Amino acid sequence: MHRDDTNPPDRPGPSVSPGSASPTDREAGQDPLRQVQRERQTRVAKVIVALAIVGILIAFIVSNSQSVIVHFVFFTRRPALIWVMFACAILGGILGYLIGRPGRQVRLRRGKDQQPRR
């Protein structure tokens, strides 16, 4: 059996005290900490953006709460302007989804003995 030592017995290797770690060990230990810190910062940023959007939405609703006359085909009503805009946004979203969604692809089944034509 052959023993392959990188450090011969007359030359001891570098001494490492229990409290010290190599730079790669320190980076490996800090990497999960950095990831947790980034996740926290991302979460805080999302909360701040969400609060800003809610604030803008509340200001939008309050400023558009007055009634308006809406002439439907067979009748006339006076809903709040925000409800008119909300209904238009919902109808536009539904229409956009129906127009933009991919259709079902109809595939013709060929018999096992039929080959595709070229």
pLDDT recorded at residue 94: 92
**pLDDT value of residue 27:** 58
Buried b vs exposed e over 41-76: b needs ≥16 C-beta within 10 Å? eeeeeeeeeeeeeeeeeeeeeeeeeeeeeeeeeeee
Predicted confidence (pLDDT) per residue in 74-101, tens digit = 999 999 988 888 888 889 889 988 988 7
Predicted local distance difference test score (pLDDT) of residue 58: 85
Q: Which pLDDT belongs to residue 87? A: 87
67 phi/psi in degrees, rounded to 5: -80, 145
CA–CA separation, 105 vs 97, rounded Å? 17
Tokens of 63: 């400023």
Q: How far apart are CA 78 and CA 66, in angstroms?
A: 9
CA dist., res. 39 & res. 29, Å (int): 17
Q: pLDDT at position 20, please?
A: 54
Nearest to 65 by CA among 79, 76, 52: 79
Over 90: is that where the pLDDT of 51 sits?
Answer: yes
Determine the 3-state secondary structure of 71 from DSSP.
Answer: strand
In the prediction, which pLDDT does 44 show?
94
Average pLDDT of every residue of the chain: 76
Asked if residue 61 lies in contact with residue 54, where contact means CB atoms within 8 angstroms, the answer is no
